[in-house]
Structure 1
Amino acid sequence: MDLTNFEPTRTLPGLLLDRANREPDAVALRHWRDGVMQAITWRTYRDRVQDLALGLVAQGVRHGDRVAVMSGARPEWVFAALAVQSVGGVVIGVYPTNSPAEIEQLLVHSEAVAFIGETTTELTKVAEVAAHTPKLRLVVGIDATPPELPEVIKRTTWEALCEEGTQYADDSADPLSELVAGGSLDDAAVLFYTSGSTGVPKGVTHSHRTLQHSVQTFVGLYPQILSHEHDAVGFLPLAHVAPALVSVFAPLLARLVVTYCRMGDYEDVLRSVRPTAVLWPPRFYEKIAGELIAQTEGWPRLRRYAYHAAMWAGRRVAERRWSHRRPSVPLRIAYAAALRWVFLPLRATVGMDRIRLAYTASAAMPESVIAIWQIWGLDLRENYGLTETAGCPIAHFDQPFPRPGFIGKEFPDPRFQVKVADDGEMLLRAPLLFDGYWRNPAETEAVFEDGWFRTGDLMERTPHGDIRLIGRKKDVIITRGGKTINPQPIETRLKESSLINEAIVVGDARKYLTVLLEPSTTADARSAESLAERLRAEVARVNADLARVEQLKDFRVLPRSLEIERGERTANGKIKRNAVVRSFAALIDDMYGANDDAAIANHLRSRPK
């Protein structure tokens, strides 16, 4: 693949056919189930897709139809996606955590004609709302038979549908190739629904062409996967754009072998596979780093001394890298010893010793988390992508061990362009941009300006061209005094503390800022008073570096964790700020006192005596 002049020539199922013809017996992917690893070749991959695709055709699924898949990360999700696309259809990922109401909204909006569910749990959810989805006419169970459904909807199992496809194929020598030949690069391939963190989820339409340009940028992060086999572990929901891009579509063009497993098994699978390529959301790096730090604290005294000495060398090497200074020869020797005898063995305990380059996206990561992994020898870099880009038009493509806090530069292809609007918003122009919001031309038109996509993110660029995100345009807080404040940098600073899992800064239309804190599960909570004092110290630490109008005047500890089921988090874990503010309105009002406008609102709502 020419990374700077790449132009797709085949649809995604066409790429599958090419790989199956070129290397039929090579391993395409693996599956971990109950401690057993199963390898699947490209020939088997193609055959599974063919059987399912023909089964869908036999059930009346046609070019342009939408098919929803609700499942964890497993090979069947991949087979389903490529089978639907082989028919010329559009696959829709549904999060396993979605409620029946959310499933109904998605099926109705997309006018999906078929639904593929993993277990009885998912199938029962769709059965609850099936009567309200007028276009749905087929429900397929992967591990279970669907429950009773309205008569107009056929229910079947994965095995039965594939068997039907096998019989349907008897009349043709190469039925999958015939199906795939009817597709076009600009056909819609996937509908990724946005998380809904700022409103009703939108269906983001990506074509076979835009997804391959997205893969182009992913390969740009890790060019070695074109020539040498690399291993990855797939456990994140494939309904989300980044895991789907990395685990489902990138392997069609690159030599990346994904081992799929359940979310609950990923730690065991990491240790077994020892992956070489990683792209995770920040919370996984945070979680694993916390576990490793706790592990070192339990080491014998002599080993702890060795670790502290290694950290001394690691910090100094990191500081020199960030300031573009070459470490001295003695320091390089000391760090090489630290890496070999301390840091790599430490990382090996969680299966991360073979990784030399890792990326994170989807949310801001505390700089301290990036720093600790870089000190431990993992070249962890932030990059930038949205559901609307699928790939990463901005990243540290050729900057090893970059200073934390920056997301990099544009992808090195002249078709990828970034500029800053007058109000600081990042604007993008690139061939990986989505084709529009599904059946929502008004929303699509609203996010484009003279061919530039309005990202909704605020950015600044250094004289060297490095880009830093400084907040979300829609997340800005405007205080009663007219001050505009971006809460995300403040929240990120707070979450650097090991005591704090989530921080939600509030203060829109208020006189000052306050914050809701969700303590970390590892925080020592021997008494509420003790925890409150320690959290107060963390707030004071952050306030010390803030301008007066940005300082947090008070805080409250959330009485419970934020929940997807209550609408406070999106399916991929992001905070829905407005929902949190509604859920804890009384707690927030308590931080502003009787003089706040909440008192007037309460007076208006109260009934006269």
Structure 2
Amino acid sequence: MNATRLFDCMALQAAAPVANLLNAKENGVWKAYSTQQVHQMVNQLSMALLNLGISQGDGTTEGRDKIALISSGRPEWLITDLAVQQIGAILVPLYPNSNPKELEQILNEAEVKYVFVSNDELCGKITEVQANIPSLKKVYSFDKINACAHWLELLQPLQPGDTEKIKAIRDTVKANDITTIIYTSGTTGHPKGVMLTHKNILTNVLDSSKVLNQIPAEHKSALSFLPLNHIFEKMCTYIYMFNGFAISYAESMDTIGPNLREVKPDIFTAVPRLLEKVFERIMDAGQKLTGLKKKIFLWSIKVAEEFEINHGAMYAIKLAIADKLVFSKWREAVGGNVKAIVVGSSATPIKLEKIFTAAKIVILEGYGLTETSPVIAVNQYLPDMRKFGTVGPLLGGVQVKIAEDGEILCKGDNVMAGYYKNPEMTAEVMQDGWFHTGDIGVLDEGKFLKITDRKKEIFKTSGGKYVAPLPIENKMKENHFIEQMMVIGSERKFVAALIVPSYTNLLPWCKENDILFINHAELVKDKRVMELFKAAVNEFNPEFNHVEQVKKIALLPNEWSVESGELTPTGKMKRKVIMEKYHDVIDKLYREDVNDTDCTVIPPTH
């Protein structure tokens, strides 16, 4: 594949144009943008930006003009990205749920000149802080609204000589030029601007394309709904763009189910939280069945939980029966064509990996960071290239070594150029040519990378013993009554945990056990519910050494979410925020000593 820059996908597409390159719903109806339309709009927007004075400046990262983009996934997002790229400017994409103060801080640091937003709400956020951003000249909106200029005003017919002018500038853009600055949301602290070059992202795209090509994607169709400003979804988008896939954008997170059935994609990307939600709905529907249908459903779930990549003949017979009776209906519910789901951002429960893969929806869990563009390792479609409990073999072109303290170090063309305007922090993570990921891991069988914890999340008890919370949390979340869990115990006598129950599974259990309740807050105070979770924790505790065992738990009535502030936009726990928010609950956990042989559940205070 002869390409050195991300926008080279356009030249490849021109050789094999399609009628539905990008697709989105407009006024409730799917609208397709052909290859020719997309390329024309990209060139028109590039010319408009040039006419507005956007340029490469002196060719340095500081000198190149910056364009910000704040929008959910839609064709306009990618069109803007390509238009900015091919004139040598730098795209600064931001999360739509960023608060105005954070937007102001980032837009000022990047000295952004123009901002593209999707709707009235985002226009309002920028308008609120626009006076405090000296570099910002104008805001354009993809939706037609009164408060902002409409972006189509910029898309005028190309004049004689415009195409040649764009080409002349495009030809000056080099592989090592910065194409985007992506601000990481982070679990704590000020967002860092990660500078990524064309080469950084493109090498990841080309190496990941080899993984994609293992998947029998007959229709070459993908559904996109994760934030495009996150490098995971952006990089995957370019995999599709370089491999002739049609991309459809979901209307919202709430419409993923209907959109999957309408688009019938071969593949999509997701975060573990979405898989958990999908499985909760499956279980909820299954629990409502009666008689023989319910028995068959529950038997099929048990069969799926026992799935191994290399299974025997007897198991294959059971799996075929379960597939015909149950799993085939699951596939129809997600469009009928899905062969694989690529999962990233945080650890996927092994139980879910097995269940979906058993249902012929192969879970390809991967691992990486914004700083690595992002993929370092990924489980692949071929059976000998994936292993449950790991994030798969290393991606081609990526080097990894494990430091003495267990930290994963990475080297390759995918590693960032550095943090924007922050050489000190860049030097801190880049040492002797190796990027320090901050994650702890091992190479299982010398081939499969396994993440065991975050280096900064490992804590020490007051007794001086180190505890890695992630393996404990991941193991205990295999119990279907535990939705979310955070292990705590830094500088404390023992390990404890905050648990958010899976109310989707807990409520039917309560009904079966004649437990009446008014709301979640009252339910978690019920002694029988507390005993249920005590038993769940005690079941797993023996799998950990004595100091790692969870001695006390508190049940919480409300799910952690991005909206309520406990999760990052990619679903990672903001441990510091949760610690602060539940300060009183945690204090209560540690007011009294513990029973050394048994877990204790404290009644929550609300």
TM-score, normalised to structure 1, is 0.87
Which residue of structure 2 aligns with residue 78 of structure 1?
78
1:557 aligned onto 2:555:
yes
Asked if 2 retains the 8 angstrom alpha-carbon contact of 1:360 and 1:381, the reply is yes
The 3 A distance-change label for structure 1 pair 236 and 315 is: closer
Separation (CA, whole Å) in 2 of partners of 1:301 and 1:462:
44
> In the TM superposition, what whole-angstrom CA distance separates every residue of 1:549-600 from its partner, at most 9, and x where no partner exists?
112222223354435456432222221111211222222112112799xxxx
Which residue of structure 2 aligns with residue 15 of structure 1?
9
Cα deviation, residue 355, structure 1: 2.2
Which residue of structure 1 aligns with residue 366 of structure 2?
383
1:362 aligned onto 2:345:
yes
Separation (CA, whole Å) in 2 of partners of 1:219 and 1:114:
33
1:284 aligned onto 2:284:
no
Which residue of structure 2 aligns with residue 191 of structure 1?
181
1:58 alignment partner AA: N
Asked if 2 retains the 8 angstrom alpha-carbon contact of 1:370 and 1:404, the reply is yes
Cα deviation, residue 295, structure 1: 2.1
The 3 A distance-change label for structure 1 pair 106 and 558 is: farther
Separation (CA, whole Å) in 1 of partners of 2:298 and 2:495:
39
Residue 340 of structure 1: which of 317, 321, 324 is its match?
Answer: 324
Separation (CA, whole Å) in 1 of partners of 2:483 and 2:105:
31
Separation (CA, whole Å) in 1 of partners of 2:305 and 2:457:
34
Asked if 2 retains the 8 angstrom alpha-carbon contact of 1:219 and 1:226, the reply is no
1:54 alignment partner AA: M
Cα deviation, residue 42, structure 1: 1.0
Cα deviation, residue 227, structure 1: 9.1
The unaligned stretches of length 5 or more in structure 1 are 2-7, 148-154, 597-609
Question: Which deviates the most, 535-544 or 476-485?
Answer: 535-544
Separation (CA, whole Å) in 2 of partners of 1:356 and 1:23:
24
> In the TM superposition, what whole-angstrom CA distance separates every residue of 1:9-53 from its partner, at most 9, and x where no partner exists?
442223314423x13444322113344222211110111111211
Residue 465 of structure 2: which of 483, 486, 503 is its match?
Answer: 483
What does 1:73-472 correspond to in 2, within 5 Å?
73-145=73-145, 147=147, 156-163=149-156, 166=157, 169-224=159-214, 229-247=219-237, 249-263=238-252, 264-308=254-298, 310-311=300-301, 314=304, 318-319=307-308, 321=309, 324=310, 326-328=311-313, 331-351=315-335, 353-397=336-380, 399-400=382-383, 402-411=386-395, 413=396, 415-472=397-454
Question: Which deviates the most, 579-588 or 422-431?
Answer: 579-588
Which residue of structure 2 aligns with residue 51 of structure 1?
44
Asked if 1 retains the 8 angstrom alpha-carbon contact of 2:411 and 2:435, the reply is yes
1:443 alignment partner AA: M
Separation (CA, whole Å) in 2 of partners of 1:444 and 1:340:
53
> In the TM superposition, what whole-angstrom CA distance separates every residue of 1:245-277 from its partner, at most 9, and x where no partner exists?
112x22331122110122232211101122111
> In the TM superposition, what whole-angstrom CA distance separates every residue of 1:289-340 from its partner, at most 9, and x where no partner exists?
2212222233353333444554565555x24x3xx4x512x54344334323
Residue 36 of structure 1: which of 25, 29, 38 is its match?
Answer: 29
> In the TM superposition, what whole-angstrom CA distance separates every residue of 1:92-142 from its partner, at most 9, and x where no partner exists?
211111111111121122221111111110010011111221211121111
1:478 alignment partner AA: K
Separation (CA, whole Å) in 2 of partners of 1:197 and 1:98:
14
Question: Which deviates the most, 562-571 or 291-300?
Answer: 562-571
SS of match in other structure, 2:400:
strand
Cα deviation, residue 533, structure 1: 3.1
Question: Which deviates the most, 126-135 or 387-396?
Answer: 387-396
Asked if 2 retains the 8 angstrom alpha-carbon contact of 1:227 and 1:255, the reply is no
Q: How many residue pairs align between the two structures?
A: 569
Separation (CA, whole Å) in 1 of partners of 2:424 and 2:442:
29
Which residue of structure 1 aligns with residue 602 of structure 2?
none
Asked if 1 retains the 8 angstrom alpha-carbon contact of 2:43 and 2:163, the reply is no
SS of match in other structure, 2:372:
coil
Which residue of structure 1 aligns with residue 61 of structure 2?
none
Cα deviation, residue 520, structure 1: 2.8
Separation (CA, whole Å) in 2 of partners of 1:453 and 1:584:
34
Separation (CA, whole Å) in 1 of partners of 2:525 and 2:545:
28
Asked if 1 retains the 8 angstrom alpha-carbon contact of 2:113 and 2:136, the reply is yes
Cα deviation, residue 56, structure 1: 1.5
% same residue: 28
Separation (CA, whole Å) in 2 of partners of 1:273 and 1:36:
12
Residue 528 of structure 1: which of 506, 511, 524 is its match?
Answer: 524
The 3 A distance-change label for structure 1 pair 507 and 364 is: same
SS of match in other structure, 1:31:
strand
Separation (CA, whole Å) in 2 of partners of 1:294 and 1:173:
56
Separation (CA, whole Å) in 2 of partners of 1:70 and 1:557:
37
Cα deviation, residue 188, structure 1: 0.9
Cα deviation, residue 427, structure 1: 0.9
Separation (CA, whole Å) in 2 of partners of 1:536 and 1:345:
35
Separation (CA, whole Å) in 1 of partners of 2:447 and 2:194:
29
The 3 A distance-change label for structure 1 pair 494 and 209 is: same
- RMSD of aligned alpha carbons: 2.5
Separation (CA, whole Å) in 1 of partners of 2:473 and 2:217:
41
Separation (CA, whole Å) in 2 of partners of 1:53 and 1:354:
36
Separation (CA, whole Å) in 2 of partners of 1:542 and 1:371:
19
Separation (CA, whole Å) in 1 of partners of 2:215 and 2:305:
30
The 3 A distance-change label for structure 1 pair 66 and 287 is: same
Which residue of structure 2 aligns with residue 27 of structure 1?
20
The 3 A distance-change label for structure 1 pair 252 and 312 is: closer
Separation (CA, whole Å) in 2 of partners of 1:378 and 1:238:
23
Cα deviation, residue 464, structure 1: 4.5
The unaligned stretches of length 5 or more in structure 2 are 57-63, 511-516, 518-522, 595-606
> In the TM superposition, what whole-angstrom CA distance separates every residue of 1:374-401 from its partner, at most 9, and x where no partner exists?
2223221321111111242212236428
Asked if 2 retains the 8 angstrom alpha-carbon contact of 1:225 and 1:256, the reply is no
> In the TM superposition, what whole-angstrom CA distance separates every residue of 1:401-427 from its partner, at most 9, and x where no partner exists?
84421112212x4x4211110000011
1:327 alignment partner AA: G
Separation (CA, whole Å) in 2 of partners of 1:312 and 1:498:
13
Question: Which deviates the most, 495-504 or 169-178?
Answer: 169-178
Separation (CA, whole Å) in 1 of partners of 2:530 and 2:472:
19
> In the TM superposition, what whole-angstrom CA distance separates every residue of 1:511-530 from its partner, at most 9, and x where no partner exists?
21211222334232723333
Which residue of structure 1 aligns with residue 603 of structure 2?
none
SS of match in other structure, 2:128:
helix
TM-score, normalised to structure 2, is 0.88
Separation (CA, whole Å) in 1 of partners of 2:445 and 2:240:
36
Which residue of structure 1 aligns with residue 576 of structure 2?
578
The 3 A distance-change label for structure 1 pair 535 and 312 is: closer
Cα deviation, residue 462, structure 1: 2.8
Separation (CA, whole Å) in 1 of partners of 2:539 and 2:303:
27
Which residue of structure 2 aligns with residue 593 of structure 1?
591
Separation (CA, whole Å) in 2 of partners of 1:562 and 1:289:
18
Asked if 1 retains the 8 angstrom alpha-carbon contact of 2:364 and 2:381, the reply is no
Separation (CA, whole Å) in 2 of partners of 1:146 and 1:438:
34
The 3 A distance-change label for structure 1 pair 480 and 242 is: same
